[in-house]
Amino acid sequence: MLQPDRETRVEWTKTVTAFVEDFIEGLEAAPASSPGTAFLSPPPAETPGELAELLATFGTAASQAVETAGPRYLAYFPSGGLYSSVLAEFLAQATNRYTGVASTAPALVALEHSVIRWMCDLFDLPDGSGGIFTTGASLATLSALHTARQDRLGAHDPNGTIYVTAQTHHCVAKAAHITGFAPERIRVVPMDAHLRMDVGQAQAMITEDRVNGLKPFLIVGTAGATSTGIVDPLNDIATLAAREDLWFHADGAYGAAFQLTDRGRATLDGITRADSIAWDPHKSLFLPFGTGVLLVRDEAKLRAAHVADGDYLQDLDHGTGLPDYADLGPELTREYRGLRVWLPLHLHGVAAFREALDEKLDLARHLRTELTTIDGIEVLPSGLTVVVFRGTDSERLLKDINGSGRFFVSSTRLDGKFTVRMCVLSHRTHREHVDEVIDLVRRWRA
C-alpha cells in the first residue's frame, strides 16, 4: 500500500525522528572519518519491509563516511546542515509543490523570491536584479557563463575568451568546456605575491588578445579561493571589466556569505559591482548540500539566455508578476528549494548567521596565530576562514591528523608544494575544537 494510514505515518515519523535525534546528539563524540566497507543492498522484495530494519541498514551505510556534519570536519568546505533546514526540506517534499512556473504555486514562489530579493539587497544589486536557487555553485556558474556568452557574444563564438587565475575554481573551466569553448580560450592571468589576480597583467592579456582577433567577454574574480580563502581585488577587476566591456562574474561559492559581516564586506569590496555572483548557502550559511544560488545584476539577461517554451505549457499563466524559475535556469522541473533557506533565516534571524560567521573568522584567526608559534610549521597567506600551513613531511602530518579519527582535514598544493589546509566553517565547530586540533599539531611536532 503506497498511502499508509495516519497511525502508520505517525509511527514512521517517530521512528525517523528518533534516529535523527540520536545522530545529532552523537556528533560530538562521533569519529571524524570512518570509511568502512561498501556493500550493495539486496534488491527490493515484492513484500513490504520493516522501517526499523531498513533504517538500521541506512544508519550503517551513513556511518561509514567522512563525518561532514560534525564539529571536527575541517576539510574542503564544511556543510553542517542546519536542523531547521532539514525540517524545511521535510515540509517541501511532503507538500511537493511545482514551482518551475509561478502560477502553479504563486505564494510559495513569492516566499522563495523574497529570499532572492534579500540576497540581491545584501549585495546592493539594483532594481531589475534577480536570481535562482540551484543545486550548487557549479550549476550557477554554468548558467552565468552561458548568460555572459549570450549577452556579450550573441551566438556562440569560438574566439570568445575567459580570464581566470590558477586559483579560480575548476567549475569555471568545466562550464566553459560544456558550453563549447576550447581550453586555450581560458586565459590564466598571473597572480601577485598574495595569490590574487594581477589586474595589470589581465589588462595586458586582454589588449593582446583583441589585437590577435580574439573576443574577450568574461572575467572571473574569486571571492574566497578554495585552496586558500584569498579574495581577488574585486573592485579593480570590476573597473577593468567596465572599461573593457567584459561580463564580471564573482565566484562567491564559499565567501559570499561573509558579506553579512563588517569584516567580510570590507574584504569583498567590489563584489557589489559584479554582473553575476555564484554562492553556495550550503557552505557559509550552514545549509544542507544541494543549496546554491545565482544572483544577476540584470534578471532580464538571465531570462533571455534560458527561456524556452512548448505547446504543452500553453495552459500556464505567465503573468503573475513573479519569476518563472524555469525561464531562469536549465531545469523545467525543479524541487522547491526556497523553503530550506527561507525557514532558517526567519526562524533563527539574520543576526544568528552573522554572529556564527564572525565566530568562524575569529576561530580561523586564532588557528593561524597559534600555528605560527609551533616550531617547524610555516603558515602561508590565507583568507576568511581557510588556514594553510606546512612543515617537514606535511603529507605524514595530514595522514596522522586524519588517522587519529578525531579530525578530518584536507590538502592543496601551493608553489608546487604539498600544503595542509583547514577550513573552520561548520556551525558546530567552536573554540574547544580548534584548540584540540592545535594541540594535535603541537604534539605531532614535539
Q: Give dist(CA 396, CA 308) in Å, integer.
A: 53
* SS3 call for 27: coil
Residue 82 covered by a domain: no
- How much is the mean pLDDT over the chain? 95
Would you say residue 79 lies in a domain?
no
Report yes or no on 411 lying in a domain: yes
7 has a pLDDT exceeding 80: yes
pLDDT digits (tens, 9 = 90+) for 22-64: 999 999 999 999 877 777 788 899 999 999 999 999 999 999 9
- Please tell me whether residues 379 and 423 are part of one structural domain: yes
Within a domain: 81: no
Query: Is residue 324 in some structural domain?
Result: yes
Q: Are residues 253 and 319 in the same domain?
A: yes
Pick the last residue of a domain from 315, 348, 381.
348
The pLDDT of residue 153: 95
Q: Are 360 and 385 in contact (CB under 8 A)?
A: yes
Residue 168 burial (CB count, 10 A): 22
Q: Which three three-digit cell numbers place residue 82?
A: 542546519
Q: Are residues 55 and 135 in the same domain?
A: no
CA distance linking residue 151 with residue 179, whole number of Å: 14
Query: Are 212 and 254 members of one domain?
Result: yes
Q: What is the pLDDT of residues 227-278, one digit of tens each?
A: 999 999 999 999 999 999 999 999 999 999 999 999 999 999 999 999 999 9
Residue 42 corresponds to which cell in the numbers above?
539486496
pLDDT, average across residues 158-181: 96
The count of domains in the chain is 3
Residues 201 and 318 in one domain: yes
75-92: average pLDDT = 93
Cα→Cα distances 302→109, 128, 142, 392, Å: 18, 11, 12, 49
Backbone angles phi, psi at 30, to 5 degrees: -70, 145
Q: What is the pLDDT of residues 86-136, one digit of tens each?
A: 999 999 999 999 999 999 999 999 999 999 999 999 999 999 999 999 999
Question: What pLDDT, on a 0 to 100 scale, did the predictor assign at position 446?
Answer: 67
Do residue 120 and residue 216 come from a single domain?
Answer: yes
- Note whether 177 and 261 are same-domain residues: yes
The residue among 314, 333, 348 that closes a domain is: 348
| 354 lies in some domain | yes
Q: What is the DSSP letter of 431?
A: H
Answer yes or no: is pLDDT of 392 > 90: no
CATH code of 123's domain: 3.40.640.10
* pLDDT score of 310: 86
Domain match, 418 and 289 both: no
Which uninterrupted H or E stretch holds 92?
helix 83-95
- In the beta sheet, which residues pair with residue 117? none
Predicted pLDDT of residue 409:
97
Torsion of CA 253, 300, 152, 277, to 10 degrees: -10
User: What average pLDDT does the segment 317-345 reach?
Assistant: 93
Q: Is 35 in the same domain as 173?
A: no
Q: 328 burial class (0-12, 13-18, 19+ CB within 10 angstroms)?
A: buried
Residue after which a domain boundary falls, among 325, 348, 371: 348
The answer to whether the beta carbons of residues 224 and 364 sit under 8 Å apart is no
Which has the higher per-residue pLDDT, 282 or 313? Answer: 282
Q: Residue 296: helix, strand or coil by DSSP?
A: strand
What size, in residues, is the chain?
446
Mean pLDDT of the 149-156 span:
90
Residue 319: the pLDDT is: 83
State whether 332 and 384 are in the same domain.
no
DSSP conformation class of 73: B
Q: Please give the pLDDT value at position 37.
A: 77
Task: Report yes or no on 77 lying in a domain.
Answer: no
Q: Quickly list DSSP for 147-212.
A: HHHHHHHSS--TTEEEEE-TTS-THHHHHHHHTT--GGGEEE--B-TTS-B-HHHHHHHHHHHHHT
Which CATH number does the domain housing residue 419 bear? 3.90.1150.170
Helix 6-25, helix 51-63: angle, nearest 10: 20
Closest CA to 408 of 151, 49, 70: 70
Structural domain includes residue 80: no
% of the chain at pLDDT higher than 70:
100
Count CA atoms within 13 Å of residue 443 on its CB side: 9
Residue range of the domain that includes 434: 350-445
